[in-house]
């Protein structure tokens, strides 16, 4: 049998020369399918809009196509998206109210016009996945994910928003969502701040060395900044412990035994001892002291000595700026 006709489809060495590239360091991989899932009201749409606005300034990004099948027009108006992002020259916002076809058929149209390299530098944002296909139907989800993979092979970067189960522990729907994506994050809103809110994105699947991220999103401007990841991961129990210990250490330096005694916990309490060690160098420091000079005592770190605890770093390494920690934990 003559198989020469397959030569035009054969993978060549030059096809493997492409290097891994991030549009956002350690977070958003270029030419990859990234799924971000969360409970309703966690800030998925704000996050994707803020990322889109930031990437409009990136010379590597030629166009951003945001397909919103989820948010009503009055919500977009209330959020000020008209002034904040719709006028960006690289940004195309497609809303379900203006579509004359289904969201899935729209993707089919986009895929049908794509050839190798035709969507190089294009970011597609899908909000949200359940509006493009029946997420519980394996066949339909496989078809949708196949469309997205074809767009990826045409050079596109895809970021799709999705919903989690009620308990927030997993994504809703078919396993094809996970199996056919390249990267997956679980998003949690961890703090409300005066100008916006902070989110934590935990890696659930990675093929490209992505890492957990914490971002502050300014809802007044749609600016987005990196925040301290360790602080974002603080549990409610740890937060309560930190508050109590800082109140004690703001009065005077104390030994471990004195702290445990003041907190009325056992001297063998592993959580307290481990938490003291975990946040050493962040909220407090230890040094030899005491009456004999041989006992480790803890002292609070002064605010003006903190390098990262109260600060944010922009996505592209701009100057650090102060972030208020007057946060109301969710």
pLDDT digit string, tens, across residues 79-126: 999 999 999 999 999 999 999 999 999 999 999 999 889 999 999 999
Task: Give the Å distances, CA to CA, from 144 to 46, 115, 123, 171, 317.
Answer: 24, 18, 17, 16, 36
**What is the pLDDT at residue 291?**
67
Whole-number pLDDT of residue 1: 73
Distance between CA atoms of residues 63 and 65, nearest Å: 7
Q: How far is CA 206 from CA 29, 43, 133, 202, in A?
A: 10, 22, 24, 11
Q: Are 169 and 43 in contact (CB under 8 A)?
A: no
Give the chain's count of helices (H) and strands (E): 10, 17
Low-confidence ranges of the chain (pLDDT < 50): 303-330
pTM, two decimal places: 0.81
pLDDT at residue 313, rounded to an integer: 37
Residue 285, Ramachandran bin (φ over 0: left; ψ between -120 and 50: alpha; else beta): beta
Q: Which domains are delineated in the chain? A: 15-228 (3.40.50.300), 236-305 (1.10.10)
pLDDT attached to residue 262 = 96
Residue 290: per-residue pLDDT: 66
Phi-psi region of 281 (alpha: psi -120 to 50; beta: other; left: phi over 0): left
């Amino acid at each position: 049998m003559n198989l020469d006709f397959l030569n035009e489809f054969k993978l060549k060495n030059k096809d493997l020369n492409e290097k891994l590239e991030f549009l956002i360091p350690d977070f958003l991989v270029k030419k990859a399918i990234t799924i971000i899932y969360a409970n309703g009201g966690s800030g998925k749409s704000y996050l994707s809009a803020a990322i889109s606005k930031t990437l409009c300034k990136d010379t590597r990004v030629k166009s951003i196509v945001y397909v919103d099948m989820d948010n009503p027009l009055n919500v977009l108006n209330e959020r000020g998206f008209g002034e904040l992002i719709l006028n960006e020259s690289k940004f195309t916002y497609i809303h379900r109210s203006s579509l004359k076809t289904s969201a899935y058929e729209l993707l089919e149209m986009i895929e049908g016009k794509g050839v190798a390299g035709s969507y190089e530098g294009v970011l597609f944002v899908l909000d949200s996945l359940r509006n493009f296909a029946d997420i519980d139907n394996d066949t339909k989800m496989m078809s949708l994910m196949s469309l997205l993979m074809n767009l990826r092979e045409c050079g596109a970067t895809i970021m799709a928003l999705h919903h989690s189960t009620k308990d927030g522990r997993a994504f809703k729907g078919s396993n094809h969502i996970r199996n056919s994506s390249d990267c997956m994050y679980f998003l949690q809103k961890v703090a409300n701040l005066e100008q916006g809110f902070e989110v934590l994105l935990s890696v659930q699947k990675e093929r490209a060395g992505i890492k957990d991220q914490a971002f502050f999103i300014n809802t007044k401007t749609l600016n987005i900044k990196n925040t301290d990841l360790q602080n974002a991961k603080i549990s409610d129990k740890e937060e309560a412990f930190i508050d109590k210990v800082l109140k004690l250490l703001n009065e005077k330096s104390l030994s471990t035994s004195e702290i445990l005694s003041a907190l009325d916990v056992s001297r063998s309490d592993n959580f307290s001892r481990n938490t003291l060690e975990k946040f050493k160098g962040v909220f407090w420091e230890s040094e030899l002291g005491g009456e004999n000079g041989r006992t480790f005592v803890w002292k609070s770190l002064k605010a003006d000595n903190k390098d990262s605890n109260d600060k944010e770093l922009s996505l592209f390494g701009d100057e650090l700026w102060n972030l208020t920690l007057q946060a109301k934990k969710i």
